[in-house]
Amino acid sequence: MNGNNPYAGAPGVTGAGQASPDRELTVEQMDALRRAVAGIVSRTESYLPEGFAVGSELSTGMNGPLATVAVHPPVGHPVSAGFSPDADELDAGLTDEDRNEVARGLAATAAFQVMSAVGDDLTPAAR
């Protein structure tokens, strides 16, 4: 039954249920990820009128860092976009085009959620 024990295994090999140490980010990379996600949040907010709540979360999963940006429209279901960048992407920097694409996609999906919940009796939610 040692195979089921998360402490079993060869030295230097990532144990069961534990994150791989080579997927951890440096302080600089984590700061770059925070700035990139904050930029996506701000761009998403710029596409939407008041009443839409936009937020983000950074966490660490089994495969490394996870970034999630979510929009909660005034009516309808919340929408989110998540990604797990690798260290090379963070060192090169997330491009403005990638950030804009995520922000536009979230804003459009959140606006669609409002339109679906309310129907045709509402003025457009996105700019």
Has residue 12 been placed in a domain?
no
Q: What is the pTM of this model?
A: 0.72
Has residue 11 been placed in a domain?
no
Nearest residue to 58 (alpha-carbon basis) of 48, 47, 68: 68
Has residue 80 been placed in a domain?
yes
Rounded distance between C-alpha atoms, residue 22 and residue 55, angstroms: 28
Rounded distance between C-alpha atoms, residue 121 and residue 16, angstroms: 53
Give me the domain span that covers residue 96: 27-117
Rounded distance between C-alpha atoms, residue 42 and residue 49, angstroms: 12
Q: What's the whole-number average pLDDT of the chain? A: 80
Number of independent structural domains in the chain: 1
Cα–Cα distances (Å) from 17 to 3, 7, 51, in that order, read 12, 10, 40
Tokens representing 54 are 């936009």
In this predicted structure, the answer to whether residue 12 has a pLDDT above a threshold of 70 is: no
In this predicted structure, the answer to whether residue 4 has a pLDDT above a threshold of 90 is: no
